[in-house]
A and B are shown apart, each in its own frame.
Chain A
Amino acid sequence: MTILEPQGPGVPTPRPSQFSAPYWEGCARGELRFTRCRSCGASLADAPRVCHRCWSTDLVWQVSGGRGTVYSWTVVWRPQTPAFVVPYVPAIIELAEGFHLLSAVIGCRVDEVREGLEVAAEFHPCGDDQFLPYFRPDDGQ
C-alpha cells in the first residue's frame, strides 16, 4: 500500500487574513505557531480573536514544539477536487501544548494511522511562498 505524501500543485492554498498572517508566516519559517490566552491560559488554534474558553481578547502568539498525537482522522477516497491524490488522511492533531489542529497525516500507510499515534509537524510548499504543516509519525529523534 502506498505511503501517504503531501499534496502537490493545484490544491487550494491558504488566503491569510490580517489575523492569521502570523500563523502562515510561522509556517514559512518552519514554526508552528498558536495563540495563548493570557487570561485563562488556554492554547488555541486557527488564530482566533477571542478566547473560546473565557472570551478574553488578551491573546499572544507562541511557538509550538510541533509534537502531538492523532486525535481523529478519516481516510478520503473521493477527493474534494481532482487536484488531490487519494487516499489522503485529514486528521485532528492534539498538540503537546493542548490545542487541536486540523491537518493531514503523511509518511505512513493508511492502515498505520491510529488514535494516539505520535506525530511531528513538518512544512511543505503549497502555492506561492506558502507552506502547509503536515504531520508524520514521530520516531522521537
Chain B
Amino acid sequence: MIVTGQCQVVLITAGSAGIYTQHSSTAPWTRPGNEFTAPYGMFTAAEFALMARRHMLRFGTTAEQMATVAATIRNNGHRNPEAVYFGRGPYRTQDILDSRPVADPFHLLDCSTTSEGGCGLVLTSAERAADLASTPVFILGGGSDAYGGSYQHAPVWDHRGHGDIEAGYVGRRAARASFETAGLGPADVDVCEFYDPFSFEIIRQFEAFEFCPEGEGGPFVGDGRIELDGQFPVTTDGGTMSFAHPGASTQMLQRVIRGVEQLRGTAGPCQVEGAEVALCSTGGSGALFTDVLLLGAQRP
C-alpha cells in the first residue's frame, strides 16, 4: 500500500494480556477445537513432535541436537535484560534433556513458555524515513508459505500439496522468494531471527531455508555455529523460549522487532557485531505455515 501510494505510514501492533496460570492443562490457545485432533489429546507441542519424529527417523536427528538449540536460545534470553527469563540461566544441553518430558521428543525446556507482552512496528517509504529521527531498517524481501489449515489435519512431513516440496520444509518457497527479491542467499545472512516454538524448528528452518542440505540441520546447529559469536546466530533475544511468548501474533512479530534491533545495533548484550542482514521468520512445521522477512541495514 505504501508502494502504490495508498498510504504513507503503516503502524502494525500486537499485544496480549491476561496471564495464564492454570497449570493442570496446556495453555488454552495451544488446544485445538478441531473434531479430528482434539479428541486425541493433541496440543501444539504434540503437533510439532509428530514432525520432529519424522526428521529423527529419516535423518537420525537427536534429542541432544535439539537440546543444543534450546540451550543456546535460552542463554540468549539469560543475557538479555529485556527477557522475561533474564538471568535464569545459564543452561547446558544436559539441563534441557533433564527437564521433564512433555511430548516426546520434546522436554519442557525444548518448548516455548507463555507470557504477556506487546510490540509495534512502523512502516514507511525509504524517502519518508530519510527525515526521521530513528535509524531506518530496510525490507529486502519477504514471502509466505502454507500447506493447509493449522491444527486441523495430521501434520504429515511428506505431503506435497500441489508442488514438489514436502510439507516438512514449509517456508522454503517463502525463503526462496525473499532471497530472489533481495538478490541475496543464505550465506549473506548475519542474524537468523528464526521463530522458535520448539527447539527442533531451528534445525528444520536451516534446511527449509537452504542454509544447509536436507538432513544436515542437526549437526549444523553444533560447534557453536548458532551462538551469538557464531556464523549464524539464532533468535538473539531469547525468543518464545525465554524472551516472551504472548499470543495474538505478538510472538511472531517479535522476530521482526528483534531483526530491526540487531540491524540498528541496539540489541544490547546480545548484539551481533556488524549485523547487516537479518532473516526473520514465523510459524512452523506443526502449524503448516512459515513466513519469512528479510531485513537489511543498507538501502537496497
Interface residues of A (CB under 8 A from B): 7, 11-17, 20, 24, 45-46, 52-53, 55, 71-82, 84, 88, 90-92, 100-104, 115, 126, 132
Query: Given A45-B154, A52-B161, A74-B49, are A81 and B35 neighbors across the interface (CB < 8 Å)?
Result: no
Closest to B102 in A: A78
B156 at the interface (CB under 8 A from A): yes
CA distance A92 to B286 in the complex (A): 13
User: Which residue in B39, B154, B162 is a CB contact (below 8 Å) of A12?
Assistant: B39
* A-B interface pairs (CB < 8 A), number: 117
A82 to chain B, nearest CB (A): 5
Stretch at the interface among B23-31, B68-76, B125-133, B172-180: B23-31
B152 at the interface (CB under 8 A from A): yes
Which residues does chain B contribute within 8 Å of A24, judged by CB atoms?
Answer: 35
B53 at the interface (CB under 8 A from A): yes
Interface residues of B (CB under 8 A from A): 24-26, 31, 33, 35-43, 45-46, 49-51, 53-54, 57, 100-105, 108, 148, 152-157, 159, 161-162
Which residues does chain B contribute within 8 Å of A16, judged by CB atoms?
Answer: 35
Q: Is the CB of A82 within 8 A of B162?
A: no
Which residues does chain A contribute within 8 Å of B161, judged by CB atoms?
Answer: 52-53
User: Which residue in A52, A77, A80 is a CB contact (below 8 Å) of B43?
Assistant: A80
CA distance A7 to B38 in the complex (A): 12
B177 to chain A, nearest CB (A): 22
Give me the 6 closest cross-chain CB pairs, A-B, nearest first: A74-B49, A102-B154, A14-B35, A12-B38, A75-B104, A78-B102
Q: Is the CB of A72 within 8 A of B50?
A: yes
A61 to chain B, nearest CB (A): 16
Which residues does chain A contribute within 8 Å of B157, judged by CB atoms?
Answer: 72
Q: Is the CB of A132 within 8 A of B53?
A: no
A44 to chain B, nearest CB (A): 10
Q: Is the CB of B36 within 8 A of A46?
A: yes
Q: Is the CB of B25 within 8 A of A80?
A: yes
Query: Given A46-B153, A73-B53, are A14 and B39 neighbors across the interface (CB < 8 Å)?
Result: yes
Query: Given A80-B43, A104-B40, are A92 and B50 neighbors across the interface (CB < 8 Å)?
Result: yes
Which residues does chain A contribute within 8 Å of B45, judged by CB atoms?
Answer: 78
Closest to B105 in A: A74
Q: Is the CB of A11 within 8 A of B154?
A: no
CA distance A60 to B277 in the complex (A): 50
Query: Given A74-B49, A92-B50, A102-B154, are A81 and B31 neighbors across the interface (CB < 8 Å)?
Result: yes
Q: Is the CB of A74 within 8 A of B50?
A: yes
Closest to B44 in A: A80
Query: Given A80-B41, A81-B24, A82-B24, are A100 and B154 neighbors across the interface (CB < 8 Å)?
Result: yes
Q: Is the CB of A90 within 8 A of B39?
A: no
CA distance A91 to B46 in the complex (A): 9
Closest to A73 in B: B53
A34 to chain B, nearest CB (A): 12
Q: Is the CB of B37 within 8 A of A76?
A: no
Q: Is the CB of A92 within 8 A of B103?
A: no
> What are 12 A-B interface contacts by the 8 Å CB criterion?
A12-B33, A12-B38, A74-B46, A74-B49, A75-B103, A77-B103, A78-B45, A80-B26, A80-B46, A88-B40, A102-B37, A132-B40
B102 to chain A, nearest CB (A): 4
Q: Is the CB of A77 within 8 A of B36?
A: no
User: Which residue in B40, B102, B148 is a CB contact (below 8 Å) of A77?
Assistant: B102
Which residues does chain A contribute within 8 Å of B152, judged by CB atoms?
Answer: 46
Q: Is the CB of B153 within 8 A of A132?
A: no
Closest to A15 in B: B35
Q: Is the CB of A52 within 8 A of B40?
A: no
Which residues does chain B contribute within 8 Å of A102, judged by CB atoms?
Answer: 36-37, 40, 42, 153-154
Which residues does chain A contribute within 8 Å of B108, judged by CB atoms?
Answer: 78
Q: Is the CB of A126 within 8 A of B50?
A: no
Which residues does chain A contribute within 8 Å of B100, judged by CB atoms?
Answer: 77-78
Q: Is the CB of B153 within 8 A of A45?
A: yes
